[in-house]
Chains A and B, each alone.
Chain A
Amino acid sequence: MTVNQTAPAPSRQRRREANSINPGMISRRRKGSPYPYWFYLPAAAIYTVLFLVPTFASFFFSLTRWTIFNATFIGFGNFVQFFQDPGLSTGLRNTIIYAILTSGLKVVLGMLFGVLLTSKMIARGFLRSVLFFPVLLSSIGVGIMFSVFMDPDKGIINQVLSIVGIQGPSWLADPHWALLSIAFVDVWKGVGLATVIYIAGIVSIPQEFYEAARVDGASPTKCFWNITIPLARPATATVIILSLIGGLRSFDLIWAMTQGGPGFASDVIASVIYKQYEAGFYGLSTAGNVVLFVIITAIVLPLSIFLNRKEVEQ
């Protein structure tokens, strides 16, 4: 989204160039060839059947008591019930904590790694791939792997900690730690992507700024604060928005590692919804999905507008 806005001028220019090089294209379009419109049809049909119909169906089913076999219309009863759910307030709080924590850490660490991996250092390419590697793994695989690592007695993490004399907590079984532990794993897995976005953002900053700053005697720290951070702003906005959306609707990692437990200690909205579905409360679960959709939109849309407006003002 932000990338498009940062460079509108060149692309328009390129289009103009392309048109002038190949005037035949314009004339063919003027003749009214059906070619481009027919091309849309399969995609439109698939989009309608697999996306639009289920979306609107889910808005309808969220207003029903639905057992798969039959659906009874009950108005907003499901929404009322969903908001009365004792698990929901925990879930909502945990979702916000999780989203802000993972998103924040990804921004800070992604920025640091981005700067590090664009500087002249040995084995830069290798380190970049090492950092990116966890992004390629499946969340379920990562979840299972870390729940083994995080076993309080036999897990490798606590065994390593015990070598240096630290008694590690039971990462996933302790209600105070469970959500944080999952958030750390999420960051471990997702920071590679944030770093790649930052690398792209930092590389696109013209070197002249740094050269000019260095001539004026600016230290590397000053360069970082006054050139890199402001000019990598589009990258920051992208990382924040992407990781916030990811954090708000995160489910797979949490389910693989704790299933929302112990008790309800690491339940998020998505896992609350899944539990309703598991229990056979399909209408209630669908209502939960509508709520989640509204919450994500309500948080991300204003944030996205805010971040992008600041960018235009610059």
Chain B
Amino acid sequence: MTGKLIRHWAPVAAGTVALGIALTGCTGFGGSSSGGSGSGGATISFLVNNSDTSVAAAKELAKEFTAANPDIKVDVQTRPQGSDGDNTIKTKLATGDMADVFEYNSGSLFQQINPGQNLVAVTGQSYMSDVSDSFKPVVTAGKDVYGVPFGSGVAGAVLYNKKVYSKLGLSVPKTWADFVSNSQKIKASGTVPIIQSYKDTWTSQLFVLGDFANVAKAEPNFAADYTANKAKYATDPAAIKGFEHQEEAAKDALFNKDFASTTYNQALDMLANGDGAQYPILTSAIAGIQANDPDQINDIGMFPLPGDDASKNALTIWFPSGVYIPKSSKHVAEAEKFQAFLASKAGCDAQTKGSAPSGPYLVKDCTLPSNTPPAVQDMLPYFNDTAKNSPALEFLSPVKGPNLEQITVEVGTQQVSAQKGASLYDEDVKKQAQQLNLPGWS
């Protein structure tokens, strides 16, 4: 009888146990685990995106930091890049499962993780005085500052092959007209003038995003008006230029023949080998070229995407990610020490050891190594003079539509006109602003 009873109840019990395991596994009450190690020190976890450059820099940072603070160990963890990474970050924050310090975007995406609710403010920390004043606004929510920079500044610009330029006797263009005439000469010589790589769709946005410095110099109030729903890409004569330039280049057949199926890495190879002369892209690509084609890195230079007015020629710059401390961290004091290390010259040097910087650091006293690639050196004069640069729109406004990359692919492949593309993007932006519940959009 008892044997029979057990046999009857066994599946029920097993099912209940399985369910219990499933439930606890789902809800994740655990919070951040891995407490202090046995030897009296602590281990803090450090979550970074899984790109080669980030991981290499983070590992070197962890090593040097532990060398300076022997009682604190740093465990580097990785997450996906892009929007998968955004969702990972949000989920981890919402469930209290976040690492003790983590790297995440500054600017508009930073605002979407509810800094006030989820992060430890570091406004009054002494090490914040070493962080560049231009960086602080992009990691500020309300009155408080939350992060220190990780990595170096980046620009949205044109990388070009200096060998091709010198062979054809071309000079760096300051206006769009010069750029087009250069491109026609390059085309006549049999080289691809402008490289595009739509297999990796994000690379198609640079004509628009990298042109923002020209928009900002022509209309200094654009970002504020745009946030307040008073300016539109489709109706603003300066803003629509980016779309029009892409359309014009496509119509003139200035792109590589297989641009629709070319990948980012193939594009970098083309540029490095001189098969293509100019590539509008984020300058973080310099690190990619250095990794894949180190012998050609000195052939690569950089100039801003040119606009109409040579006297207002300016560079669109992107700020590096920030490193933040979640409120769920059990090692806030150690995490702050780590932030302080990041905001010091020793921190920059450690990152340089891990991966060569593709732009200037945003921490006081940090220097670039003497063997910095020429393309990075081309950026420095623009970075150092605010009259010659503008932050990208995503650092000046929380409004950024998610579908720009598909829309610029449509414009670049001539499925839609520049005008239509710009108004499609305005629709896209409206959706995002409404989801963020911004004033003036409902």
Contact = CB atoms under 8 A, between A and B. Distances in A.
Contact of B402 (A39, A42, A45, A279): A279
A173 B94 contact: no
Interface in B94-116: 94, 112, 114
Given A72-B437, A86-B424, A278-B83, A153 B258 contact: yes
B406 A260 contact: yes
A262 B91 contact: no
Interface string A66-99: 0111001000010001001111000000000000
A264 B112 contact: no
B225 to A, nearest CB: 23
A39 B431 CA distance: 49
A43 B18 CA distance: 11
A262 B409 contact: yes
A38 B201 contact: no
Contacts of A260: 406
A263 B407 contact: yes
Contact of B90 (A261, A275, A280, A281): A280
Interface in A223-267: 259-265
A261 B15 contact: no
Contacts of B90: 67-69, 280
B12 A280 contact: no
A114 interface: no
Interface residues of B, number: 46
A181 to B, nearest CB: 12
A46 interface: yes
A182 interface: no
A264 B410 contact: yes
Given A68-B94, A278-B402, A45 B409 contact: no
Contacts of A87: 403, 406
Contacts of B431: 81, 84-85, 281, 284
A233 B301 CA distance: 68
Contacts of A278: 83-84, 86-87, 402
Interface in A39-66: 39, 41-43, 45-46, 49-50, 65
A49 B19 contact: yes
B415 interface: yes
Nearest to A274: B83
Given A38-B8, A263-B406, A281-B435, A173 B15 contact: no
Interface in B325-379: none
Contact of B14 (A42, A81, A174): A42
B129 interface: no
B261 A284 contact: no
Contact of A69 (B93, B199, B409, B432): B93
Interface in B1-51: 8-9, 11-12, 14-16, 18-19, 22-23
A172 interface: yes
A263 B261 contact: no
A277 B84 CA distance: 10
Given A45-B19, A65-B437, A279 B258 contact: no
B118 interface: yes
A311 interface: no
B417 interface: no
A265 B86 contact: no
Contact of B22 (A39, A46, A81, A175): A46
Contacts of A151: 261
B114 A45 contact: no
A182 to B, nearest CB: 15
Given A67-B114, A281-B431, A262 B258 contact: no
A126 interface: no
B396 interface: no
A43 B415 contact: no
Name the residue in B261, B406, B415 with the highest tally of chain A Cβ atoms < 10 Å from its Cβ. B261
Nearest to A33: B8
B311 interface: no
A259 B201 contact: yes
A152 interface: yes
B255 interface: no
Interface in B363-412: 402-403, 406-407, 409-410
Nearest to A66: B435
A308 interface: no
A38 B12 contact: yes
Interface string B134-149: 0000000000000000
Contact of A46 (B8, B19, B198, B437): B19
B200 to A, nearest CB: 10
Closest 8 CB pairs of A and B: A42-B15, A173-B260, A263-B410, A279-B402, A278-B83, A173-B261, A68-B94, A263-B409
Given A170-B261, A275-B402, 8 more contacts: A39-B12, A41-B12, A46-B19, A69-B118, A72-B437, A151-B261, A173-B260, A262-B415
14 contacts: A42-B19, A50-B22, A67-B112, A86-B428, A173-B260, A175-B413, A262-B260, A262-B415, A263-B406, A264-B410, A265-B415, A280-B90, A281-B432, A283-B435
Interface of A: 34-35, 38-39, 41-43, 45-46, 49-50, 65, 67-69, 72, 77, 81, 84-87, 151-153, 170, 172-175, 259-265, 275, 277-281, 283-284
